[in-house]
Structure 1
Amino acid sequence: MTESSDDVSRIHKRYTLTTFTPTSHYVSLAISIAVACVIVAVSYIDYFKSTDNLTLAIPITIGALVGTQFLDPKILRTEYSKSIHMSAFGNLLWLVTILCGILSSYVFSKPQLLPIYITEGMLLYASFRIAIFTSVLGAKLRTAWIICLLQPLSMFLAFVPSTMWISMLTDPRAIEYGVIFCILGSLWTLLSDRIAGRGKLSSTHAFLQAYLAAWTNNNPEPMEYLMEKRSESSKVSTFQVLFKTKNHNCRLVIPDLHPGPFHPIGGSNIPYLIYKNLDSSAMVMHSISDHSLNLPSKSQVELYITSLKTNSTIQQGSKSTKPVTIQVNKARTTGLLFDKTAILILSLSPYGMEDIPYYIKSELEQYGKNRGYERVLIVDSHNAMGKEIEKLDADDLLNAAKSTLDTLITKETLPMEIGYANSESLSFSADDLGPGKVAIMCFKIGDEKFFLAWADANNMLNGLREEIANHFSKNGYNFLEICTSDTHYKARTAKNKHGYFEFGSLSKANDVISWFMELAKKAEQTSPVSSYELLKSETNVKVMGGNQLEIYSKSLDTAMRITQAFLLITTGFFIYTLL
């Protein structure tokens, strides 16, 4: 795995901690109301030893709960759903404190249950609100202190008998415990926000809030603002092989950009935008690139897309060699030669890997020049899930690719015909595909037809490529390869460590095979190529660079370690209060 890909994975891994939140705020609302009812019932039965006013206390408490759930988002200018989720977890903390108080009473044979645990639970809930207000909702620490008691105190006054208010709210131990909890919450806020960034990130919480706004609310603006500030200008090249026929033009596109970093920020959906800009008749390949070449914002994406209209023709022709495929152990390379330009497609499927490292590209480009090629364009097929590429596998990829170049240059060039079909005529939907869905290209060279498949997806389920290839082979089709665009678009939130659904994780293999077979039958109705043109465009855009994601990732890692330490301290102190 390249370093930047590893950083993105770690950021997503930290995000998965938030997936404990119910998917619907209605579920959280039901939980908060149910827990509030249990808090009131347990308090009356076990602490107050009376149920006289229980039936009245419960609806009043629910009214206080629901009323403050509406007040919180108005004061903090945040979403109502976040207030509900926070309320559910906070009330659970309060209930746990009350239940632990009961357990402590029986274990240590206390003469009577101490109402201190009700007050302590209320103040523990307040400290939880301080932490959430400042980290997730972006409130100032002073504001968090002012309103942290709004909900728990309202509920306390609603169900605790008025005759007990003063004694319970002035109990020195309850006040002492509560203040310590709130101080711990405040110290955590300061350390996790300022110290975690290590001087490189002014506010870890600001990054967290921007990330959550993008990931959960589809609002990329805060995150794009942070990322574009840290981005650097770079000259980006894009190569296109445009096949011109009398019926339909189509093209292979190899941009020196990387989709991402994650939906909906910046260039996360860049493959589809290129595809649409080129009349939905393109296969947008994954070049040898990583997340350092992410476009950080929509403005940079628009600048790049506009630049595709201005390009230069650097080569023309109408012939090519037949494809060459070389397998070396796990590594497989498929190559096509257009005059002096070779296109190589690299794969380790079904074993998989992450982004191919840059040194493979530079070594192959130099090797091609030494063999008389004008240029070598390299595609990372990105068609099986895997980890960081091992040295042995990298060497095999290089050897397979070099052998492919050695073989291609000896091949005869022949007239070719091209057929292309995409899925826009097919009626299906799949949440593990981007909006470009799937396409296929048929090369008729000499007396043979060869099929190259494409999916607008973020990688593929291991083994899916082999199932497709085997089915094509059984039906007499020469299957070259399937490539994914590595799009970072998401049709729906993926609550897993990857942060996305790889192609085949939701779509069934039989369905996928049928889609490609139907497209292959359309694409094999080829047309003679009047010419192909190799186009090149260049533009200056801002890219994220090599260390930006590393800064975010390491800051979140440090914040997590600080959080773990404070959780241990808070838990230890909570146990002490039970003794």
Structure 2
Amino acid sequence: MSTRDSLDAAIDKAVKHYSSLFVLPSFKKALLFLALLCVTGGLFSTVTLFPSFKGVIYGLALGFSIFLVDLFADYVTSRLILKRDPVYDLRRTMGLSLFSWLFWFLFVFIGVALALAFGDLRLWAKLCLLGFSAIIILRLIVFNSTTFASNKKILVSSLLQPFLCLAPFLFLWSVEYNLPIGLWLFLAYSPIIGLISSFIFTSALNSVGKKSLGVPSLSLFKAFLLNWIAGLTAPFEGFLEKLGREQDVEISILKFAASKPEAIIVVPSVHPGPFKNVGSSLLSSMLKEALEKEFDCTACVPHGLLGHEVDLTSQRQNQKVIKEVVAAANFSASETKASPLVKVSDGTATAYCQIFGKSAFLS
């Protein structure tokens, strides 16, 4: 397979599956899943360690507490801290918290198992704190990778939910035994460790993009997210403008007219891509609309035999092409003869050809 075919196949495959990225449940389902996870997780962990009526009370109190606290943290994050961010509405913020809890409860349950095995409740607390530290790193990486918010807002959004949700655990532990000074020291330096770890990870990711394309990987990914979620083209097209190169574009125009234009066929040497509304993806329909408006006729813009290597980079380039095509189409049709339509097929592919004057139209 040639490099061009390989590139086209890779981009087409990515476009085919891009809509399946970051699939999240609806708001109501996310809320229900979060409530079930928090309540059942809190209840299971405490009842397992305290198999009594007291354990049930502890478990229900812990489960409902972390659910309500998490809901408050998600609301503050989406509606106040990241209120202007097009990615993090309440549903997506809650989806991140839901995933965080799945990860956190894994550590909690391991701690419960170790506490039962060794008869030491402190192991439950230690594993819970280890999970707390892990989701700080997780949230820092996710927010750094998916939002253009300031570093301050990213930091607050990353730390708010874990610290608030840790409070019910701390209260429960303080009821059963005295909290050691080491725990408070851990709470102090865990955000620092999280910051350093996430910085190392995101820097490694960005270096890949810088080496291959000259732009940070995560910045490119954020721009893609803004287009996919909010339909914004400018951020992603800004990168395409930097990565693209200028070249002449050939436009073939076939015009049918009598006293006035009846139909126009335009075949630009531009590929409608790369995806969605980015670059020249909508150029065919935009050209058709502009020509029909200008000449009051039927316009057709078929797909040329081209690949993604000739995608336009931005809406600005689209307007350049449209302006030139409309101007070039303002000519008088001079040929009066046309050949019969010829069809050729080998069983796999079919080709049509018709000659208009000195021009051949192949399809």
Structure 1 and Structure 2 fold alike (TM over 0.5): yes
Aligned to 2:346: 328
In 2, are the aligned partners of 1:60 and 1:159 still within 8 Å (CA)? no
Aligned to 2:236: 223
Say yes or no: does 1:285 pair with 2:298. no
Aligned-partner residue type, residue 264 of structure 2: R
> Structure 1 pair 102/117, CA: closer, same or farther in 2 (3 Å)?
same
Cα offset, 1:75, TM superposition: 2.5
Aligned to 1:148: 158
Aligned-partner residue type, residue 96 of structure 2: M
In 2, are the aligned partners of 1:124 and 1:178 still within 8 Å (CA)? no
Aligned to 1:117: 127
Cα offset, 1:223, TM superposition: 0.7
Cα offset, 1:318, TM superposition: 2.6
2:171 to 150, 161, 168: 161
CA distance in 1, matches of 2:151, 2:356: 64
Cα offset, 1:286, TM superposition: 1.1
1:2 to 2, 5, 14: 5
In 2, are the aligned partners of 1:336 and 1:342 still within 8 Å (CA)? yes
Encode CA deviations 1:27-76: one digit per residue, 9 max, x unaligned.
Answer: 33332232222232223222455233444444432221111112223334
CA distance in 2, matches of 1:272, 1:209: 28
Which runs of 5 or more structure 2 residues have no equivalent in the other structure? none
Aligned to 1:186: 199
Q: Secondary structure at the match of 2:272?
A: coil
Encode CA deviations 1:345-389: one digit per residue, 9 max, x unaligned.
Answer: 2xxxxxxxxxxxxxxxxxxxxxxxxxxxxxxxxxxxxxxxxxxxx
Aligned-partner residue type, residue 296 of structure 1: T
CA distance in 2, matches of 1:237, 1:118: 64
RMSD in angstroms over aligned alpha carbons?
A: 3.3
Aligned-partner residue type, residue 77 of structure 2: D
Aligned to 2:81: 75
Structure with the higher fraction of residues in strand conformation = 1
Which runs of 5 or more structure 1 residues have no equivalent in the other structure? 346-579
In 2, are the aligned partners of 1:319 and 1:339 still within 8 Å (CA)? yes
In 2, are the aligned partners of 1:123 and 1:149 still within 8 Å (CA)? no
CA distance in 2, matches of 1:201, 1:58: 47
CA distance in 1, matches of 2:357, 2:215: 53
CA distance in 2, matches of 1:239, 1:167: 79
> Structure 1 pair 40/184, CA: closer, same or farther in 2 (3 Å)?
same
Encode CA deviations 1:368-421: one digit per residue, 9 max, x unaligned.
Answer: xxxxxxxxxxxxxxxxxxxxxxxxxxxxxxxxxxxxxxxxxxxxxxxxxxxxxx
Aligned to 1:44: 46
In 2, are the aligned partners of 1:260 and 1:266 still within 8 Å (CA)? yes
Say yes or no: does 1:90 pair with 2:95. no
Q: Secondary structure at the match of 1:243?
A: strand
2:278 to 250, 254, 265: 265
Aligned to 1:60: 65
Q: Secondary structure at the match of 1:119?
A: helix
Percent pairwise identity: 18
> Structure 1 pair 143/278, CA: closer, same or farther in 2 (3 Å)?
closer
Aligned to 1:33: 35
Cα offset, 1:93, TM superposition: 0.9
Q: Secondary structure at the match of 1:2?
A: helix
Encode CA deviations 1:217-273: one digit per residue, 9 max, x unaligned.
Answer: 211121112212333222222222122257971222211111111112122111111
Aligned-partner residue type, residue 249 of structure 1: E
Say yes or no: does 1:206 pair with 2:214. no
Q: Secondary structure at the match of 1:135?
A: helix
> Structure 1 pair 29/329, CA: closer, same or farther in 2 (3 Å)?
same
> Structure 1 pair 72/218, CA: closer, same or farther in 2 (3 Å)?
same
What is the correspondence of 1:333-482 to structure 2 with a 5 Å cutoff?
Answer: 333-345=351-363
Q: Secondary structure at the match of 2:340?
A: coil
CA distance in 1, matches of 2:265, 2:220: 37
In 1, are the aligned partners of 2:39 and 2:60 still within 8 Å (CA)? no
> Structure 1 pair 47/139, CA: closer, same or farther in 2 (3 Å)?
farther
Cα offset, 1:316, TM superposition: 2.4
Q: TM-score, normalised by structure 1?
A: 0.53
Q: TM-score, normalised by structure 2?
A: 0.81
Encode CA deviations 1:5-30: one digit per residue, 9 max, x unaligned.
Answer: 234246548846734x3153443333
Encode CA deviations 1:99-120: one digit per residue, 9 max, x unaligned.
Answer: 34445567xx433552222222
140-149 vs 33-42, greater mean Cα deviation: 140-149
Q: Secondary structure at the match of 1:170?
A: helix
> Structure 1 pair 43/168, CA: closer, same or farther in 2 (3 Å)?
farther
> Structure 1 pair 25/266, CA: closer, same or farther in 2 (3 Å)?
farther
Q: Secondary structure at the match of 2:274?
A: coil
Structure with the higher fraction of residues in helix conformation = 2
Cα offset, 1:86, TM superposition: 1.1
